[in-house]
Structure 1
Amino acid sequence: MTFSIVARCPKTGHFGVGIASAVPSVGSVCYQGSGNAGVVVTQSWVNPYWAIDGVQLLSNNLTASEVLEQLSKADPRTNLRQAAIVDAQGEVAVHTGADCTEVSGHLTAQGVSVQGNMLANKQVLPAMLKAYLSSAQDNFQTSLLSALTAAQAMGGDKRGKQSAALAIYSTEEYPLLDLRVDDHLEPLRELARLLDLARTQILPYSSIMSTRTMPQGRRDEDIERMLATPPSER
């Protein structure tokens, strides 16, 4: 009922997830991530604990494959689940249950996995992976969005489109960026608009937020200038 991408950026080490669906609020329960640990997406007949528990296991230094094995053993309905994991080393582990609604499946490359179910056709996933890999020199967020856009251009979710989300995890347990479109006629177009907005009005502030090692956050002359500059001029 959904298509998604999870990846680790080879240039920055950031983790990312992009997801879209013909149901509302797909970003609310389908993924979790943590900087320096990894990211997990769960879909089809969603079990949110695959994402919640998966990130905790990644934080305990289990590999993506080990995490997937543990999650599968703990769930008696793995035949209905679809999930993908990327760990801190860029290892990918992915599962598409035998009873996920067709067209379903997944494709992987180094540090990235694309997956979907109830897809319009078998061309959706190849188009998705190609778009991501061919935009590897672009900004990471742009590459993730390009993958979602390519999937939608091929038909995406065969029932239509309604919601989308994109998240980036850097070095902290909270996301560097977490954008969600919960109900929209053109969710990916709206997600692209929000991403443009985030580049001037959200991401600049991430450099001054509290971290585990610097709970006071940062304030320096460059940041003061940034705060004094109108968003339209940044």
Structure 2
Amino acid sequence: MNYEDVVLGRRSIRAFQQQSVPRSVIEEVIALAIRAPSSMNTQPWHLHVLSGEPLDRIRADNTERMLNGVPPAKDSRDVGNYQGEHRQRQVEIAVQLFQAMGIARDDKEKRQDWILRGFRQFDAPVSVVVTYDRALREGDVAQFDCGALVNGLVNAAWSRGLGCVVNSQGIMHSSVVRKHAGIPDDQVIMICVAMGYPDEQFPANAVVSKRRPVNDVANFVGFSDAAE
């Protein structure tokens, strides 16, 4: 696959084949992802790649806490509730997904099941937990660098036939993840990425999220040629 095919073809995958992913393939993906740029080549990231029983324990404890109403406790700061155009885009993708899945607005049972899928990391065979060094927590650059790494990770995975979804629900209770993944205290848990071979029969996996046009995103200054 060339670069354009990867970027334009990649989708967020929310259901996976229950097929193990060879460690060698994941290592190939990570080797590509860690070529991501970082501030002054500091490379502040760490990747904790989970599968099997440790991942199942995280799923179980994460889901149990959610069902019991335990308030979220993430290492990373949240944005709170999105407002305005950001909220509009959040609702737009939810509508696309629910329409694909046939989930009605008033179907509380199916909506609850959808939420629980997120807390189970969409039952993916692999979860990659992204952390960074706690010594860098007071700034914003390390988090930016981790974002660059995650972009590289999901694109590299797609180039190897793997699907991913970036998933904050999977780390909603960071202490659970830290315990079962053996993550040291000197690392901040930033995000996790569910990974595996896509289930092509799952309707939501065909959903392509909409993007703003270039002229809405980019402000060109100092260019002599006018947009055609």
TM-score normalised to the size of structure 1? 0.25
Highest CA radius of gyration, 1 or 2?
A: 2
Higher relative contact order structure (alpha carbons within 8 Å, sequence separation ≥ 6): 2
Greater helix percent: which structure?
Answer: 2
Greater strand percent: which structure?
Answer: 1
